[in-house]
Amino acid sequence: MRGDWRGIAKKNKARTRWVILAFFLIYAVLGTVIDWIYLYSEGQFSTEFEISVTVIFMLTLAFSSYLAGRFFAKSMMLQGLDYHEIKAQSDQQEDKVLYGIVEEMKIAASLNYMPKVYIANCAFMNAFATGWNEKNAAIVITRPLMDALNRDELQAVVAHEITHIRNQDVRLSSSIFVMSGLLLFLIDVIFRSVIYGGESKQKEKGGALPVLLVVLALRILIPFITMALGMFLSRSREFMADSGAVELTRQNEPLARALIKIHQQHQSQASLGDEYANMPNESLRSSSYLYDPRMSGFQNWLNISQWFSSHPSLEQRLKELGYNTKF
């Protein structure tokens, strides 16, 4: 039995659109707050609503940061890794097999360009895709993962990463990363300007408290909201990549078995946490991995940890794949 990959893909595409819209809405709200702060501080506050130049500027800034993130260099994702590229003419037979699998999945996914294929020499089993378009995309598989999987399982992992490339998930994630970072910077600037800014008519009257409370609330809430939205988007894209792997391979079991094998290695070797932590630029790669070691297995009853995780729990992924087993 296979999961409903078409339904999963459709559902998560809709989620993606809502998350991106939410980010633009936050920028618009922040522009409105900036206007309100200025007008209130100068004693010119009005209850009439109109789209101001500030709101338009903030929306333009949001769109610009969204575009800027789409050109985030893949080299940053590879920094700190001990890796080498493999080609069809590689000496190692297993490397040739991997290259052939990537080529098969590239054709199945109707990609126009062949992704580069890298083997990373790490202690852990994992994989990820990088690159801001098809032409400069790459798939990275760690050596322990290659050694542990059979051909069907390796094909499913490659199909998952190929789906990320096809869906342009790396560009999308980079865009959200830039938009979130800029939002945090802007709210910090606003907060500091309110705290340390010059005199205003409301300050002279002792009426600056409402402004301070609003800005303080935004400074506390926006980091949580942007993180929760970004992680929600990341989880949605992981579900889409899982469903894409089922679409390309026409099987659900190989990917499920691969995820379970990766999970079992991470559960049995606690030292792998240090391996991740000691690698440069790991924070950039963490949300792109096939498997997030922080989401090790089952979700808790409130799902609080899930809100701020880049990946669904293994339990959720197996359920969506239509694979029922104990692990």
The structure tokens 């322990």 sit at 144
Q: Which two tokens stand for residue 290?
A: 């096939």
- Cα–Cα separations (whole angstroms), residue 178 to 13, 72, 164, 307: 21, 9, 19, 20
Instruction: Report the alpha-carbon distance of residue 240 to residue 207 in Å, rounded.
Output: 50
What are the catalytic residues?
161
The neighbour count for residue 226, using CB atoms within 10 Å, is 22
CA quadruple 295, 300, 304, 307: dihedral positive or negative?
A: positive
DSSP string for residues in 59-100 = HHHHHHHHHHHTT--THHHHTT--EEEE-TT-SSHHHHHHHH
Contact 24, 175 (CB under 8 A): no
C-alpha atoms less than 13 angstroms from C-alpha of 107 in its C-beta half-sphere: 6
